[in-house]
Amino acid sequence: MSKCQLTVIAVVVCAVVISSVAMALQIGEKAPDFKLNDQFGKTWELSELSGKVVVVVAANKDSGRDMGPWFDNLKSAYGDKIRLLGLMDLHNIPAIGRGIAKSRIRKETKDPLMLDFKGSTGKAYQANSKTPVVVVIDKNSVMKAVQSTHYSDGAFKTISSAIDSALANNKKT
């Protein structure tokens, strides 16, 4: 390879690394905004949830089944103290199959799952095929915890600690 080709490759690799770092969810930063409908047609907007502690569990069609333990345990521990929302990145579902997907999700769960058929919100929340991504957002829309993992007691403890802190700060103001 020539020196010029190596330089071009190095620049491309650096650009990819920098762009993936820039896209990472950062604790202490504002959460990515969203405006999506759930499987029942209700529109959810992060800006309208201001003043509440929000937990988003993001997944795609491959990791979506792993959302259940997160939902079950978070609902059991916090009930109505938090706004728990699922985010399903379904951009790979063709337009002709979207109604079927929505109907199937509606039958499988009563929990609100925001359906992202464009994929931009799922990408912003780093929904992936391996594991759900759990994001704790405080009353000011600032991210307090981000976990990309299957449910475990340790991961739940980390998320719970961030939720407890966000709830305690909610009461102070």
Where in the chain does DSSP place strands (E)? 35-37, 43-45, 54-60, 83-89, 113-116, 133-137, 143-148
- The answer for residues whose C-beta is within 8 angstroms of residue 103's C-beta and 6 or more apart is none
Give 3's pLDDT tier (boundaries 50, 70, 90): low
Helix 67-78 × helix 153-172 angle, to 10°:
40
Q: Which domains does the chain have, with CATH numbers?
A: 26-172 (3.40.30.10)
Q: What is the pTM of this model?
A: 0.84
- Residue 43, pLDDT > 60, answer yes
Adjacent-strand bridge partners of 9: none
- DSSP per-residue string spanning 51-68: TS-EEEEEEETTTGGGHH
At position 19, the amino acid (one-letter code) is S
State residue 12's pLDDT score.
42
Report the alpha-carbon distance of residue 101 to residue 39 in Å, rounded.
Answer: 9
Report the alpha-carbon distance of residue 61 to residue 88 in Å, rounded.
Answer: 7
SS3 37: strand
pLDDT tens track for 85-107:
999 999 999 999 999 999 999 99
